[in-house]
Amino acid sequence: MEVVTFGESMVLFSGDQSLPLEYVHQFHKQMAGAESNVAIGLAKLGHSVGWFSKLGQDAFGRYIMQSVRGQGVDTSRCIFTDAAPTAVFFKERQSGGRTQVYYYRNQSAASLMKPEDLDESYLAQAKILHVTGITPALSQSCLELIGHAMDLAKRNHLRIVFDPNIRWKLWNRPDTKQILLELASKADYILPGLDEGEFLTGQTEPEGIAEELLKLGAKAVIVKLGKEGAYYQSLTEKGSVPSYPVQEIDPVGAGDGFAAGFISGLLRQEELAMAVSRANAVGAIVVGVNGDTEGLPSDEELTLMMSGQVN
Ligand code: CKP
Ligand code: MG
Protein backbone atom coordinates (compact mmCIF):
# COMPACT_ATOMS: atom_id res chain seq x y z
CA MET A 1 0.00 0.00 0.00
CA GLU A 2 1.42 3.43 -0.90
CA VAL A 3 -0.88 5.35 1.43
CA VAL A 4 -2.82 4.48 4.57
CA THR A 5 -5.50 6.70 6.08
CA PHE A 6 -8.28 6.20 8.62
CA GLY A 7 -11.22 8.07 10.08
CA GLU A 8 -14.96 8.30 10.31
CA SER A 9 -17.15 8.09 7.23
CA MET A 10 -20.85 8.70 7.38
CA VAL A 11 -23.95 8.42 5.29
CA LEU A 12 -24.77 11.87 4.02
CA PHE A 13 -28.35 12.94 3.34
CA SER A 14 -28.45 16.08 1.19
CA GLY A 15 -31.70 18.01 1.11
CA ASP A 16 -33.08 18.19 -2.42
CA GLN A 17 -34.33 21.75 -2.05
CA SER A 18 -32.68 24.94 -0.83
CA LEU A 19 -34.81 25.14 2.30
CA PRO A 20 -34.27 24.78 6.05
CA LEU A 21 -34.18 21.03 6.72
CA GLU A 22 -37.49 21.03 8.58
CA TYR A 23 -39.19 21.90 5.27
CA VAL A 24 -37.26 19.47 3.09
CA HIS A 25 -39.12 16.28 2.21
CA GLN A 26 -36.63 14.48 0.05
CA PHE A 27 -32.98 13.75 0.54
CA HIS A 28 -30.26 12.24 -1.60
CA LYS A 29 -28.24 9.48 0.04
CA GLN A 30 -24.46 9.70 -0.48
CA MET A 31 -21.36 8.77 1.42
CA ALA A 32 -18.80 11.13 2.93
CA GLY A 33 -15.89 11.38 5.30
CA ALA A 34 -12.70 13.36 4.87
CA GLU A 35 -10.26 10.46 5.01
CA SER A 36 -12.26 8.13 2.77
CA ASN A 37 -12.67 11.05 0.34
CA VAL A 38 -8.88 11.29 0.18
CA ALA A 39 -8.53 7.52 -0.18
CA ILE A 40 -11.05 7.42 -3.04
CA GLY A 41 -9.32 10.39 -4.67
CA LEU A 42 -5.99 8.58 -4.58
CA ALA A 43 -7.47 5.30 -5.84
CA LYS A 44 -9.09 7.13 -8.76
CA LEU A 45 -5.69 8.56 -9.63
CA GLY A 46 -4.27 5.05 -9.74
CA HIS A 47 -2.52 4.82 -6.37
CA SER A 48 -2.75 1.92 -3.95
CA VAL A 49 -4.40 3.11 -0.77
CA GLY A 50 -5.91 1.59 2.34
CA TRP A 51 -8.57 3.21 4.52
CA PHE A 52 -9.94 1.82 7.74
CA SER A 53 -12.60 2.75 10.23
CA LYS A 54 -14.94 1.19 12.74
CA LEU A 55 -18.38 0.79 11.20
CA GLY A 56 -21.69 -0.13 12.77
CA GLN A 57 -22.94 -3.64 12.07
CA ASP A 58 -25.81 -2.12 10.10
CA ALA A 59 -27.02 -1.25 6.62
CA PHE A 60 -25.22 2.11 6.60
CA GLY A 61 -21.96 0.49 7.67
CA ARG A 62 -22.28 -1.97 4.80
CA TYR A 63 -23.15 0.84 2.40
CA ILE A 64 -20.02 2.80 3.36
CA MET A 65 -17.84 -0.27 3.10
CA GLN A 66 -19.22 -1.12 -0.36
CA SER A 67 -18.86 2.45 -1.56
CA VAL A 68 -15.24 2.83 -0.49
CA ARG A 69 -14.21 -0.66 -1.60
CA GLY A 70 -16.08 -0.22 -4.88
CA GLN A 71 -13.74 2.65 -5.77
CA GLY A 72 -10.68 0.46 -5.43
CA VAL A 73 -9.62 1.34 -1.88
CA ASP A 74 -8.33 -1.48 0.33
CA THR A 75 -10.81 -1.80 3.22
CA SER A 76 -9.43 -5.04 4.62
CA ARG A 77 -8.59 -3.44 8.00
CA CYS A 78 -12.11 -2.07 8.62
CA ILE A 79 -13.81 -3.37 11.75
CA PHE A 80 -17.56 -3.85 12.23
CA THR A 81 -19.07 -3.47 15.69
CA ASP A 82 -22.56 -3.92 17.10
CA ALA A 83 -21.70 -1.70 20.07
CA ALA A 84 -22.72 1.53 18.27
CA PRO A 85 -24.31 2.64 14.98
CA THR A 86 -22.73 4.08 11.84
CA ALA A 87 -23.06 7.87 11.91
CA VAL A 88 -25.14 9.96 9.53
CA PHE A 89 -25.20 13.65 8.71
CA PHE A 90 -27.40 16.04 6.78
CA LYS A 91 -26.52 18.79 4.36
CA GLU A 92 -28.77 21.85 4.10
CA ARG A 93 -28.55 23.97 0.98
CA GLN A 94 -29.01 27.60 1.84
CA SER A 95 -29.60 30.65 -0.30
CA GLY A 96 -26.55 32.05 -2.06
CA GLY A 97 -25.12 28.57 -2.61
CA ARG A 98 -24.00 28.17 1.01
CA THR A 99 -24.25 24.82 2.74
CA GLN A 100 -24.61 23.83 6.38
CA VAL A 101 -24.05 20.37 7.86
CA TYR A 102 -25.76 18.73 10.85
CA TYR A 103 -23.99 15.72 12.37
CA TYR A 104 -25.57 12.75 14.11
CA ARG A 105 -22.30 11.14 15.06
CA ASN A 106 -21.97 11.44 18.82
CA GLN A 107 -20.94 8.03 20.27
CA SER A 108 -20.89 6.51 16.81
CA ALA A 109 -19.13 3.27 15.91
CA ALA A 110 -16.11 5.20 14.58
CA SER A 111 -15.78 7.12 17.86
CA LEU A 112 -15.00 3.74 19.47
CA MET A 113 -11.79 3.38 17.43
CA LYS A 114 -8.78 2.88 19.70
CA PRO A 115 -5.01 2.28 19.39
CA GLU A 116 -5.42 -1.53 19.42
CA ASP A 117 -7.49 -1.25 16.21
CA LEU A 118 -4.39 -0.28 14.25
CA ASP A 119 -2.76 -3.09 12.30
CA GLU A 120 0.80 -1.95 12.90
CA SER A 121 2.52 -4.01 10.21
CA TYR A 122 -0.07 -2.82 7.67
CA LEU A 123 0.77 0.80 8.44
CA ALA A 124 4.52 0.23 8.72
CA GLN A 125 4.84 -0.98 5.11
CA ALA A 126 3.18 2.14 3.62
CA LYS A 127 4.99 5.20 2.25
CA ILE A 128 2.59 7.88 3.45
CA LEU A 129 0.17 8.21 6.37
CA HIS A 130 -2.67 10.70 5.90
CA VAL A 131 -4.62 11.90 8.96
CA THR A 132 -6.98 14.75 9.78
CA GLY A 133 -7.93 16.77 12.83
CA ILE A 134 -11.44 15.32 12.69
CA THR A 135 -10.39 11.99 14.21
CA PRO A 136 -8.98 13.37 17.49
CA ALA A 137 -12.23 15.31 18.01
CA LEU A 138 -14.33 12.13 17.98
CA SER A 139 -13.27 10.69 21.37
CA GLN A 140 -10.35 10.23 23.74
CA SER A 141 -9.64 6.76 22.31
CA CYS A 142 -9.60 8.21 18.77
CA LEU A 143 -7.17 10.87 19.96
CA GLU A 144 -4.94 8.11 21.34
CA LEU A 145 -5.23 6.14 18.08
CA ILE A 146 -4.11 9.04 15.89
CA GLY A 147 -1.14 9.83 18.16
CA HIS A 148 -0.14 6.17 18.16
CA ALA A 149 -0.44 5.88 14.37
CA MET A 150 1.65 9.03 13.81
CA ASP A 151 4.36 7.84 16.21
CA LEU A 152 4.49 4.45 14.52
CA ALA A 153 4.62 6.06 11.07
CA LYS A 154 7.49 8.27 12.19
CA ARG A 155 9.45 5.32 13.56
CA ASN A 156 8.99 3.53 10.24
CA HIS A 157 10.00 6.56 8.13
CA LEU A 158 6.63 7.13 6.48
CA ARG A 159 5.86 10.68 5.41
CA ILE A 160 2.92 12.07 7.37
CA VAL A 161 0.36 14.42 5.83
CA PHE A 162 -1.84 16.25 8.35
CA ASP A 163 -4.95 18.23 7.45
CA PRO A 164 -6.19 20.09 10.58
CA ASN A 165 -9.81 20.01 9.27
CA ILE A 166 -11.12 21.80 12.34
CA ARG A 167 -14.81 21.01 12.95
CA TRP A 168 -16.05 23.32 15.65
CA LYS A 169 -19.24 21.31 16.06
CA LEU A 170 -17.13 18.36 17.22
CA TRP A 171 -14.63 20.01 19.53
CA ASN A 172 -15.79 20.58 23.08
CA ARG A 173 -12.56 20.62 25.02
CA PRO A 174 -10.51 23.62 26.12
CA ASP A 175 -7.22 22.13 24.86
CA THR A 176 -8.29 21.86 21.20
CA LYS A 177 -5.47 24.08 19.95
CA GLN A 178 -2.85 22.30 22.02
CA ILE A 179 -4.00 18.89 20.75
CA LEU A 180 -3.93 19.98 17.11
CA LEU A 181 -0.52 21.61 17.50
CA GLU A 182 0.86 18.46 19.09
CA LEU A 183 -0.40 16.38 16.16
CA ALA A 184 0.92 18.95 13.69
CA SER A 185 4.34 18.66 15.33
CA LYS A 186 4.45 14.97 14.32
CA ALA A 187 3.64 15.74 10.68
CA ASP A 188 5.89 16.26 7.65
CA TYR A 189 3.31 18.18 5.61
CA ILE A 190 0.61 20.36 7.20
CA LEU A 191 -2.30 21.52 5.03
CA PRO A 192 -4.36 24.16 6.89
CA GLY A 193 -6.98 26.48 5.46
CA LEU A 194 -6.41 30.18 6.23
CA ASP A 195 -8.84 30.21 9.21
CA GLU A 196 -7.32 27.04 10.61
CA GLY A 197 -3.83 28.43 10.26
CA GLU A 198 -4.91 31.60 12.02
CA PHE A 199 -6.45 29.65 14.89
CA LEU A 200 -3.33 27.50 15.30
CA THR A 201 -0.71 30.25 15.06
CA GLY A 202 -2.38 33.61 15.72
CA GLN A 203 -0.95 34.80 12.38
CA THR A 204 -3.28 36.18 9.72
CA GLU A 205 -1.11 35.97 6.60
CA PRO A 206 -0.20 32.70 4.84
CA GLU A 207 3.51 33.38 5.19
CA GLY A 208 3.28 34.04 8.93
CA ILE A 209 1.16 30.91 9.39
CA ALA A 210 3.62 28.76 7.43
CA GLU A 211 6.61 30.16 9.32
CA GLU A 212 5.05 29.39 12.69
CA LEU A 213 3.97 25.88 11.71
CA LEU A 214 7.37 25.09 10.17
CA LYS A 215 8.89 25.72 13.61
CA LEU A 216 7.04 22.58 14.77
CA GLY A 217 9.31 20.51 12.56
CA ALA A 218 7.38 19.96 9.33
CA LYS A 219 9.09 19.67 5.94
CA ALA A 220 6.51 21.97 4.34
CA VAL A 221 3.31 23.85 5.11
CA ILE A 222 0.70 24.45 2.43
CA VAL A 223 -1.98 27.03 3.23
CA LYS A 224 -5.17 26.52 1.20
CA LEU A 225 -6.63 29.80 -0.02
CA GLY A 226 -9.67 28.66 -2.00
CA LYS A 227 -10.16 30.82 -5.09
CA GLU A 228 -6.74 32.38 -4.44
CA GLY A 229 -5.00 29.02 -4.83
CA ALA A 230 -2.45 28.01 -2.23
CA TYR A 231 0.73 29.24 -0.54
CA TYR A 232 3.55 26.80 0.16
CA GLN A 233 6.68 27.11 2.20
CA SER A 234 9.43 24.67 3.12
CA LEU A 235 12.79 25.29 4.72
CA THR A 236 14.29 26.08 1.31
CA GLU A 237 11.51 27.45 -0.89
CA LYS A 238 8.23 29.33 -0.84
CA GLY A 239 5.69 30.57 -3.30
CA SER A 240 2.06 30.87 -4.39
CA VAL A 241 0.24 28.65 -6.84
CA PRO A 242 -2.92 30.03 -8.49
CA SER A 243 -6.19 28.10 -8.47
CA TYR A 244 -7.89 26.71 -11.57
CA PRO A 245 -11.03 28.46 -12.83
CA VAL A 246 -14.19 26.56 -11.96
CA GLN A 247 -17.88 27.19 -11.48
CA GLU A 248 -18.56 26.42 -7.83
CA ILE A 249 -21.37 23.91 -7.27
CA ASP A 250 -20.46 22.31 -3.92
CA PRO A 251 -17.32 23.32 -1.98
CA VAL A 252 -17.52 20.49 0.57
CA GLY A 253 -14.83 17.92 -0.14
CA ALA A 254 -12.51 20.39 -1.88
CA GLY A 255 -9.95 20.18 0.91
CA ASP A 256 -9.89 16.40 0.66
CA GLY A 257 -9.49 16.58 -3.11
CA PHE A 258 -6.61 18.98 -2.48
CA ALA A 259 -4.99 16.49 -0.09
CA ALA A 260 -5.42 13.63 -2.59
CA GLY A 261 -3.82 15.68 -5.37
CA PHE A 262 -0.97 16.76 -3.11
CA ILE A 263 -0.24 13.21 -1.92
CA SER A 264 -0.35 12.03 -5.53
CA GLY A 265 2.28 14.67 -6.31
CA LEU A 266 4.44 13.43 -3.43
CA LEU A 267 4.18 9.87 -4.70
CA ARG A 268 5.19 11.04 -8.18
CA GLN A 269 8.18 12.78 -6.55
CA GLU A 270 7.16 16.13 -7.94
CA GLU A 271 8.64 19.46 -6.89
CA LEU A 272 6.60 21.11 -4.13
CA ALA A 273 5.09 23.77 -6.44
CA MET A 274 3.97 21.11 -8.91
CA ALA A 275 2.41 18.92 -6.20
CA VAL A 276 0.54 21.99 -4.90
CA SER A 277 -0.67 22.78 -8.40
CA ARG A 278 -1.90 19.19 -8.76
CA ALA A 279 -3.66 19.61 -5.40
CA ASN A 280 -5.35 22.82 -6.59
CA ALA A 281 -6.51 21.11 -9.76
CA VAL A 282 -8.16 18.19 -7.94
CA GLY A 283 -9.76 20.59 -5.45
CA ALA A 284 -11.15 22.69 -8.32
CA ILE A 285 -12.63 19.69 -10.11
CA VAL A 286 -14.34 18.51 -6.89
CA VAL A 287 -15.87 21.97 -6.30
CA GLY A 288 -17.57 21.82 -9.70
CA VAL A 289 -19.54 18.66 -8.86
CA ASN A 290 -22.24 17.95 -6.28
CA GLY A 291 -21.10 15.47 -3.63
CA ASP A 292 -17.78 14.90 -1.87
CA THR A 293 -16.37 12.06 -3.97
CA GLU A 294 -18.41 12.10 -7.18
CA GLY A 295 -16.17 14.77 -8.72
CA LEU A 296 -12.84 13.20 -7.83
CA PRO A 297 -11.03 12.90 -11.17
CA SER A 298 -9.28 10.10 -12.98
CA ASP A 299 -5.67 10.68 -13.91
CA GLU A 300 -6.78 11.52 -17.45
CA GLU A 301 -9.29 14.17 -16.32
CA LEU A 302 -6.71 15.66 -14.01
CA THR A 303 -4.15 15.89 -16.79
CA LEU A 304 -6.70 17.68 -18.99
CA MET A 305 -7.49 20.15 -16.22
CA MET A 306 -3.82 20.83 -15.56
CA SER A 307 -3.10 21.39 -19.21
CA GLY A 308 -5.88 23.98 -19.32
CA GLN A 309 -8.19 22.04 -21.63
CA VAL A 310 -11.14 21.92 -19.22
CA ASN A 311 -12.57 24.16 -16.57
O1 CKP B 1 -12.65 19.86 4.26
P2 CKP B 1 -13.55 19.17 3.31
O3 CKP B 1 -14.69 20.01 2.84
O4 CKP B 1 -12.80 18.57 2.17
O5 CKP B 1 -14.13 17.95 4.14
C6 CKP B 1 -15.36 17.38 3.91
C7 CKP B 1 -15.60 16.16 4.76
O8 CKP B 1 -15.51 14.29 6.96
C9 CKP B 1 -17.00 15.64 4.58
O10 CKP B 1 -16.97 14.51 3.77
C11 CKP B 1 -17.49 15.33 5.97
O12 CKP B 1 -18.02 14.08 6.09
C13 CKP B 1 -16.25 15.48 6.83
O14 CKP B 1 -15.45 16.43 6.14
C15 CKP B 1 -16.66 15.91 8.23
O16 CKP B 1 -16.57 15.09 9.14
O17 CKP B 1 -17.07 17.08 8.37
MG1 MG C 1 -11.01 20.64 4.94
* pTM listed for this prediction: 0.96
Please tell me the number of the ligand nearest to residue 167's CA. 1
Question: Which residue out of 9, 35, 37 has the highest number of ligand 1 atoms within 8 Å of its CB and is therefore the one to mutate?
Answer: 37
Q: Is the CB of 34 under 6 A from ligand 1?
A: yes
Distance CA 218, CA 210 (A): 10
Active-site residue, 117 included: no
278-291 pLDDT per residue, tens: 999 999 999 988 88
Distance CA 258, CA 254 (A): 6
18-64 pLDDT per residue, tens: 999 999 999 999 999 999 999 999 999 999 999 999 999 999 999 99
For ligand 2, the distance from its centroid to the CA atom of residue 258, given in whole angstroms, is 9
123-160 pLDDT per residue, tens: 999 999 999 999 999 999 999 999 999 999 999 999 99
257-275 pLDDT per residue, tens: 999 999 999 999 999 999 9
Ligand 2 ion: Cβ-proximal residues, 5 Å cutoff? 165, 255
Question: Which residue out of 134, 225, 285, 290 has the highest number of ligand 1 atoms within 8 Å of its CB and is therefore the one to mutate?
Answer: 134
Higher pLDDT: 73 or 310? It is: 73
Q: At what angle do helices 176-184 and 140-155 cross, to 10 degrees?
A: 20
DSSP bridge partners of 132: 163
Please tell me the number of the ligand nearest to residue 196's CA. 2
ipTM summary value: 0.95
DSSP codes, 83-133? SSPPPEEEEEE-GGG-EEEEEE-TT-SGGG--GGGS-HHHHHT-SEEEEET
Q: Is the CB of 32 under 6 A from ligand 1?
A: yes
Q: Is residue 310 pLDDT above 80, yes or no? A: no
Among 74, 163, 256, 292, the active-site one is 256
- Any residues with CB less than 8 A from the CB of 89 and at least 6 apart, and which? 10, 11, 12, 13, 32, 101, 102, 103, 104, 105
Q: Is the CB of 196 under 6 A from ligand 1?
A: no
For ligand 1, the distance from its centroid to the CA atom of residue 236, given in whole angstroms, is 32
